[in-house]
Amino acid sequence: MKAQSHAAEWVFTRCEFLKASGLVVAGLSAGAPFARADGMEGKAKLRFGIVTDAHYAVAPSRGTRHYGESMDKMAECVALMNDQKVDFLIELGDFKDEGKPASEESTLEYLKRIEAVFGKFKGPRYHVLGNHDVDSLSKEKFLDHVENTGIANESSYYSFDSKGMHFIVLDADYTSNGTDYDHGNFNWMDTNIPDRELDWLKKDLAATSKPVITFVHQQLNVTDQYHSIKNAEEVRRVLEESGKVLAVFQGHNHAGAYSHIEDIHYYTLKALVEGSGAENNSYAIVEVQDGRDIVVTGYRRAAGKIMVG
């Protein structure tokens, strides 16, 4: 596999642009355009919002993770997405966390609270399963208490269409033997896309003629033991052979990352939970242009990026 690390074509975050131009209003956008590295002015095909790793819980902060602040950070994200009228909003996993001692009752309450905030988005919304989403719950219990617009409750991986694009949500919360993560009964470094899901993915890709964007929590573009899906190369091969996938958006690695492998862009969004205060929030708007170029506008700590198709 040919891997490339693209250092070019960065974009200022909207927050940085507004700070420079004196247009910050309570830390949010005043509606001004953001600065692009190359002056691209293509017409947007669609725009959607991404946010990841909220890890909400009523729990003391630990290190750089401030679990209790995620409610307010998520509220800011949702308010901006409503203001910007994005076509849909998706969170990329680890939506909630657990307290100590851990219990299903308390973690389910955290899920209900953060979902109530996320549910204030005035449009279609979607979730990707992260490992912490099932630290004290089953997948079924998690999915029963969130809304994936137009998707059956029992579906942990699924696809949908929007404005001429096809979107695929993957679930890597499986052990090497293909069993579901459940109530914390897993090794978070043993994360896999099982054969049955790969078969579904191949069929789903074959059935669409539209350009495709994929979402997953754990990373497909790395091979380290902490963040990578163990059969990432096999999954990437399926995506590459389809010839339809433009980009993959991921969470899990709280620091964020970007790489370009075999003509597919891999963008990892920085975690919302990291750092105290509104200035340490992280979320982004992804704009897919008519020419298949993708522009990521980062807010707060999130990195902006122009990804050329």
Instruction: Dump pLDDT digits (tens) for 207-228.
Output: 999 999 999 999 999 878 778 9
Give pLDDT, residue 26.
35
Give pLDDT, residue 225.
74
Say which residue the tokens 């942990």 belong to: 156
Give pLDDT, residue 36.
35
Say which residue the tokens 């955290």 belong to: 110
pTM of the model: 0.88
Concatenating the DSSP letter of every residue in 288-304 gives EETTS-EEEEEEETPPE
Give pLDDT, residue 295.
97
Is 44:288 a contact under the CB 8 Å cutoff? yes
| Cβ neighbour number for residue 196 with a 10 Å cutoff | 11
Please give the Cα distance from 119 to 186 (Å, whole number). Answer: 29
The pLDDT confidence band at residue 290, using thresholds 50, 70 and 90, is: confident
Is 30:23 a contact under the CB 8 Å cutoff? yes
Give pLDDT, residue 223.
79
- CATH architecture group of domain 45-283: 4-Layer Sandwich (3.60)
pLDDT tens-digit map of 48-83: 999 999 999 999 999 999 999 999 999 999 999 999
Residue spans of alpha helices (H) in 45-163: 70-84, 104-118, 139-144
pLDDT tens-digit map of 74-132: 999 999 999 999 999 999 999 999 998 999 999 999 999 999 999 999 999 999 999 99
Q: Which one is predicted more confidently, 20 or 218?
A: 218
Give pLDDT, residue 307.
96
Percentage above 90 pLDDT, the chain: 80
**In DSSP terms, which residues pair with 250 in a beta bridge?**
216, 268
| Cβ neighbour number for residue 33 with a 10 Å cutoff | 10
Please give the Cα distance from 62 to 99 (Å, whole number). Answer: 12
Please give the Cα distance from 307 to 239 (Å, whole number). Answer: 17
What amino acid is encoded at 55 in this protein? H
pLDDT tens-digit map of 232-243: 999 999 999 999
Is 266:221 a contact under the CB 8 Å cutoff? yes
